[in-house]
Structure 1
Amino acid sequence: MLDAAIKTQLQAYLANIKQPIELVPSLDDSAKASELRALLEEIAGLHEMVTLAPEADDARKPSFLIRRTGTDIGVRFAGIPLGHEFTSLVLALLQVGGHPPKVSDEVIAQVRALEGDFAFETYFSLSCQNCPDVVQALNLMSILNPRISNVSIDGALFKDEVDGRKIMAVPSVYLNGEPFASGRMDIEQILAKLDTGAVARAAEKIAAKEPFDVLVVGGGPAGAAAAIYAARKGIRTGVVAERFGGQVLDTMGIENFISVPHTEGPRLATALEQHVRDYDVDIMNVQRAKKLVPARTVGGYAEVELESGATLRARAVILATGARWRTMNVPGEDEYRNKGVAYCPHCDGPLFKGKRVAVIGGGNSGIEAAIDLAGITAHVTLIEYDGQLRADAVLQRKLYSLPNVTVITSALTTQVHGDGEKVVGLTYKDRNTEETHLVELEGIFVQIGLVPNTEFLADAVALSNRGEIEVDHRAHTSQPGIFAAGDATTVPYKQIIIAMGQGSTAALSAFDYLIRLPAEEERAEAA
């Protein structure tokens, strides 16, 4: 099951186990069960504190429990957690075995203080880069609190459950048998949903913070670079972010990050956050900005109001709020989101195996999505608004070579159709003839670019007609002391490496701004 290099790595990790654990399989006569047994035997053979227990009779087969020997502490996987979930398997082995998790003492205390019984079921796909965060968070919570349990289920292996629960997007989480959440979440976001007082407590704590020299709004590549460069100047630096990593978390393969031939978004996001935490930076996660109030006087404090109700102050603010997937904005899209309308082909594609799907968008991301989906679905219809595809020629050649792909150009999607529970088709208008056409299908993957996260800035700084923050070559905005970087700005070419460079520029410009401010006494006299 595991190649020699991975086995060597895993054996090194297992050396961190402090308490004995056992692997308890529940198997049937399927080929996947044989694969799972082989995997568990390999793992048990790598360390003396890991043993393979006799088979149990769990309702889901094949599945297995990782249990701390002699206790009820453990986590369960239904399926074979390889692919993107291999890291989840490794962490579960270590944490059940007593290796301390890399979360704050505050988060650990909050998990342990939760009252009530929480039985989670988490559906994932092995190709989903968003799923491991959710799986790992819920696994850790079940290890820390005996009243919490989690079973992570490979939707491809338990298709009857997926169909019965009408799951069309992963990760999908059920709590005590009822839908709880869908999409990427970290442990802090899950706690915010479970612990109703957490938001108020966090807001109170944030509001009590002293003003920052530089406050970075956003935790993507631009925000991380800005925070590092600011902190290296020895000034008081804070980062407030809805989710650290930003849109990088939703990126599959990254092959143009110079000096790194290949990486994946979640891995890069983790590295970004760790690098920022190496410095004296105050990171405030799971916080969404609501309003920016520029300083009323040069050198005064700008204010960033958060949706939690807290307000932060800083002499300089760097806006690095990034962008999000653009939606079609047509009837039926919101109604059938996660019920056939999807935005991540890598995550949700396996749920549409053998079905008919459409991809909206003819750029690189759209063509790549269509190529990937053609390998697992019955048929792909690619719909492009322009009169021609805009993707790289090499991608177009590959697309046109596929027998189960239909390409429609000069087409405007006008409506998503459903039966009340799931998508059943879409309507598009031929822009040349004005005729409308119905395409019957089960899934729609939207890949039409990005929209900047700048709605809260409408009255604070100058924005372009596309909603991007207008900046000059030094990352200055229209307001003194307010800087911006990354995909939310007018800087062309939305690339990770460009965002990092712009974040660095913004931080250096902010520092230059601060050192040129008049002394405190002069500001007081001027006021």
Structure 2
Amino acid sequence: MLDQNLKTQLQTYLQNLKTPVELVKFVDDSAKSTELNELVEQITQLSPLITSTAGEGKNERVPSMLIRSVQNNTEIRFAGVPLGHEFTSLVLALLHSGGHPMKIDADLIEQVRQLEGQYQFETYVSLSCQNCPDVIQALNMMAAINPNITNVMIDGALFQPEVDERKIMAVPSVFLNGKSFAQGRISLKEILKKVDSNAAKREAKALGNKPPFDLLVVGGGPAGASSAIYSARKGIRTGIVAERFGGQVMDTMAIENFISVKATDGPKLVSGLEQHVRDYDVDIMDSQRAKRINRDEHNGLIEVELENGALLHSKTLMLATGARWREMNVPGEQEYRGKGVAYCPHCDGPLFKGKPVAVIGGGNSGIEAAIDLAGLVSHVTVLEFDTKLRADEVLVRKAKSMPNIDIIVNAQTTEVTGNGEKVTGLNFTDRVSGETQHVELAGIFVQIGLVPNTEFLKGTVDLTNRGEIIVGANGETSLPGVFAAGDVTNVPYKQIIIAMGSGANAALGAFDYLIRLPVEDKQEQAA
């Protein structure tokens, strides 16, 4: 189950346990139960503070395991074999149940501890989903803090009848006390906002009391992280406002063109980015979304209003809000979003095992998605609007060599069809003949590029006709003191390494702007 190298690493981690942990396994004679049983036995052998026992219970999922803190009587469950991306979740659940400190703010820990009532979370995942561990780990920490909170990770591929009954077609999908609670990535702060009605008001008040920044970065992707690091290294007061740290990179799996790093993946790169930023004196305000910006004529500062009502102020502003997946904007897309219409093949692909799917888009992301999905699903139909595929030739050759991938060019998707509960197919128009055709499908993966996140900026800075922020050589925008970097700008190529470089460049531009402010302006802004 675990190779020797992994067991050695795990044994080192488990030396951090401070209190006893009990593993309760619910197994039968199935192959997956044998795997789970072997995993539990291997873990038990790695620490004298861990014991295991066989559990009984008619309502227990099989195979599953329960991690119980003997001291605090808290429970965390895993239904399935928590390997793949969820192995880290398992390790953290063991450590936190055994008294190892959590790397979250003390005020969040206390907020979780003070929650009243019973909270039974069920979270459906796929082990290949890079977004799911963040949600599992957030809920597991809540369960390790408060005995009234439980969470069970459920491998959707292993418990398909539950997935079908609850009509789950995207992961992670979270249920609370039997009712749908959230779908997709959600942070600990966002979870608390939903279960603690006063959390948002308290947070907005605390944010509004912060003194002005020298540089405030809006966005936590590669460009935002790079901007914050370069700014903080100059010794000026720096803050980051981000809906989620990492942005679109968190949804990227294989990264092979990040110079000096032969191969990595999005979550791993983002983890390194965040840790690098936290090495500096940067005020990170995550789970926050900017609503508008304007210049306060009273003090000359730039004002950023967040969606929770909080107002932040800064002498300079860095816009690094990145981009999001472009939608098809056809009838049925929104109705069946999360019910067959998906945007992350790595996350949701396993839910369509053995079923026919379509990929919309013939660029690199579309063809990569088709190749990945072909190993899981029964058939992949690639629909490309253009006369030819735009992906790299090596990817095109690979896709064409796979027997269960069909590629259709000159195809304009016109409608997503379904039965009211889930996707059943799509309609497209042949742009040469004009004929309308229908394809029977279980899932549709949209991979047609990105849209800049600039809706909240209209009327404040100059944008291109595609909504990108127009920047100068130093990252400056049309509004003095406001800079921009990364995929949200009109730079011609959208690449991680280019975003990082533009973030550094724009941060230096912002610093140059700051030091050239007249002395009287500095005094007025400090007043």
* Same fold, TM-score > 0.5, yes or no: yes
**Mapping of residues 41-80 of structure 1, within 5 Å:** 41-57=41-57, 59-69=60-70, 71-80=72-81
In the alignment, is the contact (CA less than 8 A) between 2:72 and 2:147 conserved in 1?
no
Q: 1:434 to 1:95 in 2, by over 3 A?
A: same
In the alignment, is the contact (CA less than 8 A) between 1:247 and 1:322 conserved in 2?
yes
Report the Cα distance in structure 2 between the residues aligned to 1:511 and 1:112, rounded to whole angstroms: 42
**What does residue 161 of structure 2 align with?**
160
| SS at structure 2 position matched to 1:260 | coil
| SS at structure 2 position matched to 1:487 | helix
Letter in structure 1 aligned against 2:260: S
Report the Cα distance in structure 2 between the residues aligned to 1:10 and 1:254, rounded to whole angstroms: 27
Report the Cα distance in structure 2 between the residues aligned to 1:52 and 1:135, rounded to whole angstroms: 22
| SS at structure 1 position matched to 2:78 | strand
| SS at structure 1 position matched to 2:386 | coil
**What does residue 17 of structure 1 align with?**
17
Report the Cα offset of residue 523 of structure 1. Answer: 6.8
The unaligned stretches of length 5 or more in structure 1 are none
Does 1:107 pair with 2:114? no
Report the Cα offset of residue 55 of structure 1. Answer: 3.4
Q: Percent identity?
A: 65
**What does residue 394 of structure 2 align with?**
394
Report the Cα distance in structure 1 between the residues aligned to 2:425 and 2:53, rounded to whole angstroms: 49
RMSD of the TM alignment (CA)? Answer: 1.5
Which whole-Å deviations, capped at 9, do the CAs of 1:329-370 have from their partners, x for residues lacking one?
000000000000000001100000111110000001100111
Which whole-Å deviations, capped at 9, do the CAs of 1:227-250 have from their partners, x for residues lacking one?
111111111111111111111111
Report the Cα offset of residue 300 of structure 1. Answer: 2.2
Deviates more, 1:270-279 or 1:478-487: 270-279
**What does residue 349 of structure 2 align with?**
349
Report the Cα offset of residue 208 of structure 1. Answer: 1.2
| SS at structure 2 position matched to 1:76 | strand
**What does residue 210 of structure 1 align with?**
211
**What does residue 140 of structure 1 align with?**
141
Report the Cα distance in structure 2 between the residues aligned to 1:236 and 1:10, rounded to whole angstroms: 39
Q: 1:43 to 1:523 in 2, by over 3 A?
A: closer
| SS at structure 1 position matched to 2:505 | helix
**What does residue 374 of structure 2 align with?**
374
Report the Cα distance in structure 1 between the residues aligned to 2:523 and 2:70, rounded to whole angstroms: 65
Does 1:126 pair with 2:111? no
Report the Cα distance in structure 2 between the residues aligned to 1:295 and 1:259, rounded to whole angstroms: 44
Report the Cα distance in structure 2 between the residues aligned to 1:156 and 1:266, rounded to whole angstroms: 22
Does 1:461 pair with 2:499? no
**What does residue 199 of structure 1 align with?**
200
Report the Cα offset of residue 252 of structure 1. Answer: 1.2
In the alignment, is the contact (CA less than 8 A) between 1:362 and 1:390 conserved in 2?
yes
Report the Cα distance in structure 1 between the residues aligned to 2:521 and 2:424, rounded to whole angstroms: 68
Does 1:385 pair with 2:385? yes
Q: 1:521 to 1:463 in 2, by over 3 A?
A: closer
| SS at structure 2 position matched to 1:335 | coil
Deviates more, 1:49-58 or 1:391-400: 49-58
| SS at structure 2 position matched to 1:253 | coil
Report the Cα distance in structure 2 between the residues aligned to 1:28 and 1:393, rounded to whole angstroms: 48
Q: 1:190 to 1:17 in 2, by over 3 A?
A: same
In the alignment, is the contact (CA less than 8 A) between 1:204 and 1:310 conserved in 2?
yes
Q: Which runs of 4+ in 1 moved over 4 A?
A: 521-525
In the alignment, is the contact (CA less than 8 A) between 2:26 and 2:54 conserved in 1?
no
Report the Cα offset of residue 296 of structure 1. Answer: 4.5
In the alignment, is the contact (CA less than 8 A) between 1:294 and 1:479 conserved in 2?
no
In the alignment, is the contact (CA less than 8 A) between 1:251 and 1:264 conserved in 2?
yes
Report the Cα distance in structure 1 between the residues aligned to 2:348 and 2:399, rounded to whole angstroms: 20
In the alignment, is the contact (CA less than 8 A) between 1:294 and 1:482 conserved in 2?
no
In the alignment, is the contact (CA less than 8 A) between 1:294 and 1:460 conserved in 2?
no
Does 1:292 pair with 2:330? no
In the alignment, is the contact (CA less than 8 A) between 2:461 and 2:477 conserved in 1?
yes
In the alignment, is the contact (CA less than 8 A) between 2:75 and 2:147 conserved in 1?
no
In the alignment, is the contact (CA less than 8 A) between 1:227 and 1:237 conserved in 2?
yes
Which whole-Å deviations, capped at 9, do the CAs of 1:86-114 have from their partners, x for residues lacking one?
10011011111110110000110111111
Report the Cα distance in structure 2 between the residues aligned to 1:270 and 1:522, rounded to whole angstroms: 36
In the alignment, is the contact (CA less than 8 A) between 1:24 and 1:56 conserved in 2?
no
In the alignment, is the contact (CA less than 8 A) between 1:361 and 1:384 conserved in 2?
yes
In the alignment, is the contact (CA less than 8 A) between 2:157 and 2:351 conserved in 1?
yes
Letter in structure 1 aligned against 2:262: P
**What does residue 418 of structure 1 align with?**
418
In the alignment, is the contact (CA less than 8 A) between 1:25 and 1:37 conserved in 2?
yes
Report the Cα distance in structure 2 between the residues aligned to 1:460 and 1:304, rounded to whole angstroms: 12
Report the Cα offset of residue 70 of structure 1. Answer: 5.8
Q: 1:114 to 1:229 in 2, by over 3 A?
A: same
**What does residue 228 of structure 1 align with?**
229
Report the Cα distance in structure 2 between the residues aligned to 1:6 and 1:184, rounded to whole angstroms: 28
Which whole-Å deviations, capped at 9, do the CAs of 1:124-174 have from their partners, x for residues lacking one?
101000100010011110110111111110001101100111100000000
Report the Cα offset of residue 72 of structure 1. Answer: 2.2
Report the Cα distance in structure 2 between the residues aligned to 1:520 and 1:73, rounded to whole angstroms: 59
**What does residue 325 of structure 2 align with?**
325
Report the Cα offset of residue 223 of structure 1. Answer: 0.6
TM-score normalised according to structure 1 size = 0.97
The unaligned stretches of length 5 or more in structure 2 are none
**What does residue 241 of structure 1 align with?**
242
